[in-house]
Amino acid sequence: MKLTAALLFMPFMASAAKFHHGHGFSQAENRQEVRGETLSVNNVPKELDFRAYGEDERNYVSAVRNQHIPNYCGACYIFAATSALADRIRLARGDTSSKEVDLAVQSILNCDTYDNGCHGGDPITVYQYIHENGIPEETCQLYAAEGHDTGRTCNAIDVCMDCAPGSSTCTAVDDSVYYSYGVDEYGLVNGTDAMINELQRGPIACTVAVTDDFENYDGGIFEDTTGDTSMDHSISLVGYGTDENGVDYWIGRNSWGTYWGEGGFFQIVRGTNNLGIEANCQYAVPSAEDNQKWTKDGDVEEVILTPRPHTTISSDDLPENWDWRNVNGVNYVTWDKNQHIPQYCGSCWAQGVTSALSDRLYIQSGAKGAQVNLSPQYLINFNGGGTCSGGMPAKAYRYIQKNGIVDQTCAIYEAENLGGRFGNSCNDQCICKTCSPNATSFSPGTCEAVTEFPKYTVTEYGKAKGIDEMKAEIYARGPIGCGIDATNAFEEYTGGIYEEEKRFPMVNHEISIAGWGKDPETGVEYWIGRNSWGEWWGENGWFRIKMGGSNLAVESECDWGVPAAL
């Protein structure tokens, strides 16, 4: 069912919009971007509406808001940015049965000093702030239509707060309790074709001029005849289409309440830069979230000292099958893990890194002597890339290069942030310790730091993506870590070559890849992966997943490190 104006709204009186002048967009002086690869989309659909998206026409857009209650506030730029981002989060989840995400506009008003609070700002700097600081949901901070420009402060309580029943006292909520959403990349986009391409990933924010006729809009395809392009307002675009007369249009969402326009939405002619709508748009890609708490590596620099294997090894020279569990009858991989005992811990980022690096140490030794199993707990203790709330594999390698890492006999896995959220409350026992009984306690007894112990490090580390880079890196130097979208169906995997098509895969979990193969009966190529969910999961803790697509983005974000010679 296509959404129509009759279903969405009841018309309101034209005079109701007269108070909206001074809407709140003001372009930042130094507009920065954090961009990934340039997006190129072929065969885009002729129509797109995230209010009725997919074969079953489900709604993926978040609620219409009103920036002007309980006070007037020129916060359009925040509503445009956060509403588009919230929609993209829901699209990334791919599940409309999940709860709607409504991001805390008020926390931006309180703390984003790139912009001017209720006196206006720019969606691109809102995304910059979220990229650097994150943003909670509105259950942390209800919209008050006030900002740092009108006397609001930016303390912990101004980011997330709660108030006890029967008390006038409110307190800050600890940041380990609430979820903070992030942005991996953000940037500017303009021009009809580029905007349509970017919309394939989800809604975008755009700036427009506001005329009296636009303020009084109550339905249909709007077309300004004044030529005004003096942009002073921000909205979000949630789609595009063409009417029965062949008129192309954008579908926009405003922040002036549901009583404005078509239930808070509008249509505006597309392709002529009407009201300047095609000249200044912004997008953001939400960070991986929830589930196993993998976080995209972002801007962590690689350390490359030697030629990358894919530059020296031809893909034609690689074998059809390669498995580090059986190379000429020798198993080079180290032990399997379960990150979720003795309690839940989102440490997949540390498990993937330490598994792959431990394997490479054993490969380096020629499978001679005892295996070294590096300690994920050590990384967690010192926030060496993250905590039990998630982390970045590349930052873990960076930490290992600078500080080294111990094995699990120094720091056994406890699935706990022993060093606190920022790793600054640990002592030497968090590095390496031993415990012994005392006169009053056999167990737990007394523990003390060990002062002499082996440490391991890496000489270089970096990223890999795509089949050829991954194969060459694995073949030449050993297993690698890779991000994957751990969907509900993937969690239920029990065996075979896994395949799942998802239009917007969002990496949220780290695994390690130890080889590849080709099914002799079907000819399907696959990766051989190791998870950290216990041996009872999948194929004794391992899995196979289709190579070259329909594989939950497992080829998009991989990482590796080269261990220093022992």
Q: How far is CA 32 from the centre of its chain?
A: 19
Query: Which residues lie across from 48 on neighbouring strands?
Result: 240
User: 3-class DSSP state for residue 259?
Assistant: coil
Considering the candidates 111, 206, 281, 348, report the single residue annotated as catalytic. 348
User: 3-class DSSP state for residue 4?
Assistant: coil
Give me the residue label for tokens 């409110």: 170
Considering the candidates 23, 68, 310, 509, report the single residue annotated as catalytic. 509
What is the amino acid identity at position 365? S
Rounded to the nearest 5 degrees, what angle is found at the Cα of 125, between the Cα atoms of 103 and 69? 45
* DSSP structure class, residue 426: -
What is the DSSP annotation of 319-339? -S-EETT-BTTB-------BT
| Strand 525-530, strand 509-518: pairing | antiparallel
Considering the candidates 274, 417, 508, 531, report the single residue annotated as catalytic. 531
Give me the residue label for tokens 């993250």: 386
Could you give the CA distance from residue 236 to residue 277 in angstroms, rounded to a whole number?
A: 10
What is the amino acid identity at position 464? A
Q: How many Cα atoms sit within 13 Å of 277 on the Cβ side?
A: 29
Query: Which residues lie across from 561 on neighbouring strands?
Result: 461
Give me the residue label for tokens 């009984």: 437
Give me the residue label for tokens 């755009």: 206
Could you give the CA distance from residue 119 to residue 245 in angstroms, rounded to a whole number?
A: 41
Q: How far is CA 429 from the centre of its chain?
A: 33
What is the DSSP annotation of 547-562? SSSSBTTTTTSEEEEE
Rounded to the nearest 5 degrees, what angle is found at the Cα of 424, between the Cα atoms of 299 and 160? 70
Is there a catalytic annotation at residue 233? no
Could you give the CA distance from residue 80 to residue 84 in angstroms, rounded to a whole number?
A: 6
Could you give the CA distance from residue 112 to residue 535 in angstroms, rounded to a whole number?
A: 46
Query: Which residues lie across from 533 on neighbouring strands?
Result: 338
Largest CA distance in the chain: 90
Is there a catalytic annotation at residue 509? yes
User: 3-class DSSP state for residue 316?
Assistant: helix
Could you give the CA distance from residue 113 to residue 121 in angstroms, rounded to a whole number?
A: 10
Is there a catalytic annotation at residue 348? yes
User: 3-class DSSP state for residue 317?
Assistant: helix
User: 3-class DSSP state for residue 532?
Assistant: coil
With beta carbons less than 8 A apart as the criterion, state whether 347 and 376 touch. Answer: yes
Distance of CA 308 to CAs 337, 462, 464, 475, 560, Å? 29, 10, 10, 12, 11
What is the amino acid identity at position 23? H
Distance of CA 350 to CAs 345, 362, 478, 553, Å? 11, 18, 17, 19
Catalytic residue numbers read: 348, 509, 531
